[in-house]
Every structure is written in C-alpha cells, then in structure tokens.
Amino acid sequence: MVTFGAAHLYVSQSDKGELVMGGDIDGYNSFAQRGNLPVIEHVAACLLALLPQFSRLRNLRSWGGDANVIRPLAPEDTDDGAWIDYLYLRDNAKGGHDELWQHIFGCRRWLHVRRDVVSHEIIGCSELTEGKP
Ligand SMILES: [Zn+2]
C-alpha cells in the first residue's frame, strides 16, 4: 500500500494484481454514494504526481454504492427520519454485502456484486436485470 497524506490518496494492490485507489471526500454534498468526477480526477492527478509511470492505467470498474438502499417511493410523504435513514445510515455489517459496480472501461454496464467486506472475496455477480446474486 502506498499513501500520500498531503494529497489524501491511497493505493493498494488486490490479490488479483489490480490497483485499488481512493482518497479525498467530495467537495459538496452528493447523494450518489460514490466519488464524483472532480474528486476522481483530483485523486488520479495526485497519483500521477507521485507515480508518473501509472499514466497508462485504465479504470476498469468503479464502485457505485450500497445495492440495498431504496429511495423512498413517495418523497413528498416521507418524514425526516426516513430521509436520514435513506441518505446516511448504513448497517456496515461484516460478511457479504450487496453493492453496485460499473464497468467503466468497456461496456459501461452496471452490475450487482455480492462481496465479503472483510476478505474482499467476490461471492457473486449479476446483471442489474437479473436481480441480486
Ligand atoms: Zn462489462
């Protein structure tokens, strides 16, 4: 793992050899549950400042958030407590977790991925139209 604290960047290598990177927080409130483009660009620029040989890397997949969160169906009838639950509160339990991921470099499709959040093992994967694995 490489960290670069002045720029809030981390990079680690997965068991399969892929690089996992992240850093910084969004500059404004976003309900997208993933880094927005300015943050992703900033993190990538910081990585290249530290390790210019990474300029040929391609972003294969991007995390898209918790797949179990469901937006209230009738926003006008939803009370503040339900909005707080939807926007901010997560169970954060160990073990299998349903997530959304997008193939960034390639088909750009969204996928359901069930991943062990402790070991990072991929338990299952399916197209959004197929439901959760
Ligand atoms: Zn794909």
Q: Where are the domains of the chain?
A: 1-57, 59-133
Task: Name the CATH superfamily for 59-133.
Answer: Folate-binding superfamily (3.30.2270.10)
| Cβ atoms of residues 59 and 35 within 8 Å | no
What pLDDT, in 10s, does the model give residues 6-55? 778 888 888 878 888 887 776 666 665 566 777 778 888 888 888 899 89
Residues 84/87/90/96 CA torsion (nearest 10 deg): 150
**Gap from CA of 125 to ligand 1 centroid (Å):** 12
Q: Distances in Å between the alpha carbon of 74 and those of 21, 41, 70, 77, 97?
A: 36, 35, 12, 5, 26
Ligand 1 centroid vs 109 CA: distance in angstroms?
6
Structure tokens at 26: 């969004």
pLDDT in tens, 28-40: 666 655 667 777 7
For ligand 1, the distance from its centroid to the CA atom of residue 124, given in whole angstroms, is 15
Q: Which CATH superfamily is domain 1-57 in?
A: D-Amino Acid Oxidase, subunit A, domain 2 (3.30.9.10)
> From the CA of 114, how far away is ligand 1's center (Å)?
16
- Contact predicate 20/13, CB 8 Å: yes
Question: N- to C-terminal Cα distance for the chain?
Answer: 30
Cα 132 to ligand 1 centroid, rounded to whole Å: 17
